[in-house]
Amino acid sequence: MRPDGPAVPKTSREKKRFKFARGLAVAASIALVARLGWVQVVWGPEFSAKAQEQRARVYVDPARRGEITDRNGSPLAYTMQARSLTVSPQRLRMEIKERARQQLAIDGKLAAIPQEQRDAVLEQMLQDKLEEMAQEIPKAIEAAGASRSKVNSDDLKTKLRADTHYEVLVRNVDPDVAADVAKRFPGVAADHQDIRQYPNGAVGENVVGKISMDGEGQFGLEAAQDALLAGVDGRVTQDVSANGQAIPGTLRDDIPVTNGAGIELTLDLNLQTYVQQQLEQAKANSKAKSAAAVVLDAKTGEVLAMANTDTVDPTGDVSKQVERGKSFDNPAVTHPFEPGSVAKIITAAAAIEGKLTTPDEVLQVPGSINMSGVNVRDAWSHGTVGYTTTGVFGKSSNVGTLMLAQRVGEDTFASYLEKFGIGKATGIELPSETQGLLPARSQWSGGTFANLPIGQGMSMSLLQMTSIYQTLANGGTRIEPRIIKKVTGPDGGELRQPEPQKTQVVSPETARTVVDMFRSVTQKDPTGVQSGTGAGAGIEGYQVSGKTGTAQKVDPVTQAYSNDKYWITFAGIAPADNPRFVIGIVLDEPQRGVHGEGGQSAAPLFHDIGAWLLNRDNVPLSPPQEGQLVLQAN
């Protein structure tokens, strides 16, 4: 008997067949091994990564956006937790059908339904459930007053029937109500959502700005300081099984959340509210296109108020407000304009600092002056008049101002423009700040020096204009204006901010002299001879220093100065004897005064804001002034 073993080919043909079969087997084995090696070595990392991606879930812990407050801690912007009700319509409908089928089976009703009718029955049950959800979800939310969003049943029906994987049913829902809805209707999720609240409506919104639907800074401080306010989301990664269960021991990449920093502004909410109200009234009364005002602390350069008209209320329908001409813009820092005679105070400071004149020097001022072929007149016709240097500015004489500018000289005057910050952004912590426009000294033509000393031929923002007066109110030291007072990190510690740059522009003695000279602008005289151009700015019981301005706008058609379109400006210091506040105002093309009176002066608006501030803060009255300042010599 032959032992068991592989069959031995008996013929050469069988041997050839055997060798061929063995060769095929070896080749197949090599191919399989090579294929396996290719899959493991070449494709393996990619397949492994895809498997890891399918298993891994990244859970995000959203950072809480920092609060914005005024200088007294009153909230300007803060974040409330809320929820968005979301759903995957395709998956929801499949789950509803499956649950309906299971319930019919449990109740013993499924078998009684003919096979060909089951799909129709399940579809009807699905539609009934979708209808119930579309009706009951709005009722649950509206009954609790738990959402700021309008909830519409028809919208919900459309979203529930959408052929998509993700829909937001309702935003801004109270967390407790959202949790109840999600529990009542499986398949509806209560996703985390933060709501940014702006409790003061339009007040200060030109400064504060707002965030977008995605939670990113969109306008104002919210945009400029987004990196500070936003914080950093926390996140953790964990693997889950095919049925969504967490796999123990796979928690990794745990990054803790870092909440945003809180920002305390220099703004005074009560003052901001008052100024904004006064501007709206002034715009309506004067029929101006717009109005803006800035209030600075005379000693620190801090912005106490920065307001303009037609600011959007973020708590209302923003799109409709924008259609009506309202905006999130902040013209006080973004829109340059020619200041007009308000800027003459630079010429005065340069002349006094250089000891080129004295307040009481009498200048024989003609009705016009020719400078490098440019003839400049005063706003009123007159022959040669004896104006004191104080009177040149109190009466706002272009001719007298240019006579003093000639003593200063072009190079020296250019250096003072630079030291006062003209043509340079202040660096305030707000977006889109303009630098203004100042011709480079090398580009000055013959007529340039006939314009700049009287506030023409250059442009600046309202903040820059107000900063000029802050410099003189602060003993000649210019401090870059700031609107952030303090930044507090999420741990409660204060984050140091860069110190504002300081520039000694003129001596304290010069600053004091110029401020005293410009009291003449608000001086009243029954005869009119010693009256200034801004008597309406005077405040009973206080010395006030300031300057009016009327700047011709450029006609967009002729590209020349218009004869009927003006920027009306005023800047002033209160009290002049012990400066506390500096106020700058600009009106765009007013047709009459800010109280509806004749003329186009902004001085009465300065009076209203200044008087309110001095009274609120119980600022001591100024010492009585001895006699009157002499503007015009007899």
Residue 138, preceding peptide bond in cis (omega within 30° of 0): no
* Residue from 308, 340, 341 nearest 325 by CA: 308
521-526: Cβ within 8 A, 24+ apart: 521/393, 521/394, 521/396, 521/545, 521/546, 521/547, 521/548, 521/572, 522/546, 522/572, 522/603, 523/394, 523/628, 523/629, 523/631, 525/628
Q: Which residue has the tokens 């800047």?
A: 571
Choose the catalytic residue: 84, 147, 290, 341. Answer: 341
DSSP character string of 101-118: HHHHHHTT-TTTS-GGGH
**Alpha-carbon span 101 to 112, nearest angstrom:** 12
CA-based angle 426:568:439, to the nearest 5? 45
Cα separation, 120 vs 117, in Å, equals 5
Q: Which two tokens stand for residue 48?
A: 């492994």
The whole-angstrom separation of Cα 572 and Cα 609 is 11
For residue 191, the cross-strand partners are: 84
Cα–Cα separations (whole angstroms), residue 67 to 70, 203, 547:
10, 16, 38
- Phi, psi of 368, rounded to the nearest 5 degrees: -155, 165
How many helices and strands (H and E) does the chain possess? 20, 21
562 classed as catalytic: no
State the Cα–Cα distance between residues 59 and 235, nearest whole angstrom: 5
> Could you give the residue numbers annotated as active site?
341
